[in-house]
Structure 1
Amino acid sequence: MGDHGDAEATGAGPAPWRRPQALMLTFCAHYMLGRDEAIYSGSLIEVLRRVGIGEHAARSTLSRMTARGLLERHRSGKRVYFALTDQAAAVLEEGGRRLGRAVNRDWDGTWTLLGFSLPETRRAERHLLRSRLTWAGFGLLQNGLWIAPHAVDVNRLLDGLDVIGHVKAFRASTLRPSQIDDMIADAWDIREIARGYRDFLRRWDGPEPPPEAADPLSHQLLMAAEWLLLIRQDPRLPLRHLPADWPAVRAEQLFLHRRETLQRQARPVVDALLHRLPLRPGPALTH
């Protein structure tokens, strides 16, 4: 297997879900979240090696994640260990709440609408707000008007942005002559969303995993990292307003079925691989 981290550095990088940090965060969510312990750096480097990441890229990933406040270093003798920070735990817990189901089978017919208008001089804030709206499942219906097919905590969405006076938000249902199917087609690229799920099925819905998923741990991490990226990009549009063969249905069934099996199979691999350091109250290393 090639070193995906080095490929990324040359510009011919891997798919986003195969990047070292995405895979490391996936591992942390499964095996470090909620545990008062740190993991030996060599163990984490071996985890990444199993999903095709070379040692240099793995060490760089651990350093970058530490610099970004996602990991903290601890030392025991000559060994360096890494633990999750509170910031990382919050990120992973939020991701975990979204990790399971992708299909919106029980939509109540209401939308969250958000409109904003920011001057050209605040371009950076506009870009950040649009990024947050996309992450929260909004689509751009028309100039300045974004819609999401679920309830959104708008105060949390806008936290830290100085835009309150420029935003209007509502909860509403659709009235004639508006057609929901047309609204969805205008606000989201459903072909692109469907393509992601079809790619996932082509990769994972077979009697044998792809060659890079050589053992239960690598299979688990690669599949879960791809799935998380898919559902982060999926606004969970109401199923009754999507094509009859919407591929997220079968992809969701596949992921949920495989998830429990792979967790059970990967657990002994992880237990044999990891060197753990129980943590006591005290400062972590800052460098």
Structure 2
Amino acid sequence: MSTVAAAESKAAAASPRHQQLIVTVFGLYAREHGGVLPVAGLVRLLGDLGVEGAGVRSAVSRLKKRGVLESVKLGNAAAYRLGPGLEEVFSEGDERIFSPRRARPEDPWLLAAFSVPESQRALRHQIRAAFTRLGFGAVSPGLWIAPASLEREARRRLARAGAAGYVEFFRAEYADDGEGSGMRGRVAEWWDLEALDATYAEFVEGQREVRERWEGAPPPSSAEDDAAAFTDYVSLLTHWRRLPYLDPGLPAEYLPGNWQGLVAQRLFAELHAKLAGPARRHAEKVLAG
């Protein structure tokens, strides 16, 4: 992960933008409603997150300009739905966000090599951006690497960008050091592990109050508890959902000791198990109302 990406992640962790919260809410609750949420319901849900109606409308306007949301009618009510193709993107993201996989040292690596004519420099930037967003490490400007489990996801991302024909994929194993110490050094070169570890540590610290609030507490049972769970869960997921894309699931054996990514993953899994159900009950009640 680059230093710039780490700085962006730190800023997002400090205070999620209204647009980020709206995307989280749509990702969680819109697909069961055909990708559509009524404007009134969205405003009420964002109100529970401390966003005023004017802030919701402003954020939605920016998301519409980006093609993330579209205005539609739900019966006689105004509503928004996800832009074309985004339900597929959200569905693909579910596995990465909720069930991130960590590779083992014996698993193969995926090498992605590409060459783009100078006349198509914008496409070259698109390809590099796609690999960065998927968590690939850069061996050289035209050669990128990640655990082989990311191949299908990478192919889909490149196909959507119209760049699949410029990239060749290879499955490989590291042959220079059977003990693994050589690969540990290469991993530290190809990924900014220090910045990534710091980003995970910020997530853990940022969720400290949420963890303390729910740790050892009985499962939420009242409407008030469900509303509190909704607020904490949407914030939790908004902070978390970028992290599995910065970390491609590098083998733990190649990572520094006391790697905060493992701590963060356990924390998210525990809070997700406790809060997701009550949060959904609250959201569905608000949307039905």
Fold shared by both chains (TM-score > 0.5): yes
The verdict on how the C-alpha distance between 1:65 and 1:33 changes in structure 2, with shifts beyond 3 A counting, is same
The verdict on how the C-alpha distance between 1:275 and 1:65 changes in structure 2, with shifts beyond 3 A counting, is farther
The counterpart of 1:194, out of the listed 191, 197, 205, is 197
The verdict on how the C-alpha distance between 1:117 and 1:222 changes in structure 2, with shifts beyond 3 A counting, is same
The answer to whether the 8 Å contact 1:27/1:221 transfers is yes
SS in 1 for 2:213: coil
Partner of 2:40: 42
Query: Is 1:111 paired with 2:109?
Result: yes
The answer to whether the 8 Å contact 1:74/1:83 transfers is no
Query: What is the rounded CA distance, in whole Å, between the counterparts of 1:245 and 1:162 in structure 2?
Result: 38
- What do residues 190-233 of structure 1 show as CA deviations (whole Å, max 9, x unaligned)? 11111111111111134138xxxx82211110101111111121
Range moving further from structure 2, 57-66 or 215-224: 57-66
Tell me how many residue pairs correspond in the alignment.
Answer: 258
The verdict on how the C-alpha distance between 1:137 and 1:108 changes in structure 2, with shifts beyond 3 A counting, is farther
Aligned-residue RMSD, C-alpha: 2.7
How high is the TM-score relative to the length of structure 2?
Answer: 0.78
The counterpart of 2:283, out of the listed 270, 273, 277, is 270
Query: What is the rounded CA distance, in whole Å, between the counterparts of 1:57 and 1:215 in structure 2?
Result: 21
- In structure 2, runs of 5+ residues without a counterpart are 1-9, 215-226
Query: Which amino acid in 1 is paired with 2:23?
Result: L
SS in 1 for 2:212: coil
Query: Which amino acid in 2 is paired with 1:172?
Result: A
Partner of 2:90: 92
Partner of 2:3: none
Counterparts in 2 of 1:1-287, with a 5 A limit? 15=12, 18-36=16-34, 38-67=36-65, 68-77=67-76, 79-85=77-83, 87-102=85-100, 104=102, 106-151=104-149, 152-153=151-152, 155-159=155-159, 160-162=161-163, 164=165, 166-176=166-176, 179-205=182-208, 206-208=211-213, 215-275=228-288
Query: What is the rounded CA distance, in whole Å, between the counterparts of 1:163 and 1:97 in structure 2?
Result: 22
- What do residues 52-72 of structure 1 show as CA deviations (whole Å, max 9, x unaligned)? 333222112323434415344
The verdict on how the C-alpha distance between 1:101 and 1:239 changes in structure 2, with shifts beyond 3 A counting, is farther
Query: What is the rounded CA distance, in whole Å, between the counterparts of 1:162 and 1:265 in structure 2?
Result: 42
The verdict on how the C-alpha distance between 1:174 and 1:37 changes in structure 2, with shifts beyond 3 A counting, is closer
The answer to whether the 8 Å contact 2:103/2:147 transfers is no
- In structure 1, runs of 5+ residues without a counterpart are 1-12, 277-287
The verdict on how the C-alpha distance between 1:101 and 1:35 changes in structure 2, with shifts beyond 3 A counting, is same
The answer to whether the 8 Å contact 1:72/1:84 transfers is no
Range moving further from structure 2, 239-248 or 66-75: 66-75
SS in 2 for 1:82: strand
The verdict on how the C-alpha distance between 1:107 and 1:23 changes in structure 2, with shifts beyond 3 A counting, is farther
The answer to whether the 8 Å contact 1:51/1:218 transfers is yes
State the shift of 1:81 in Å.
2.2
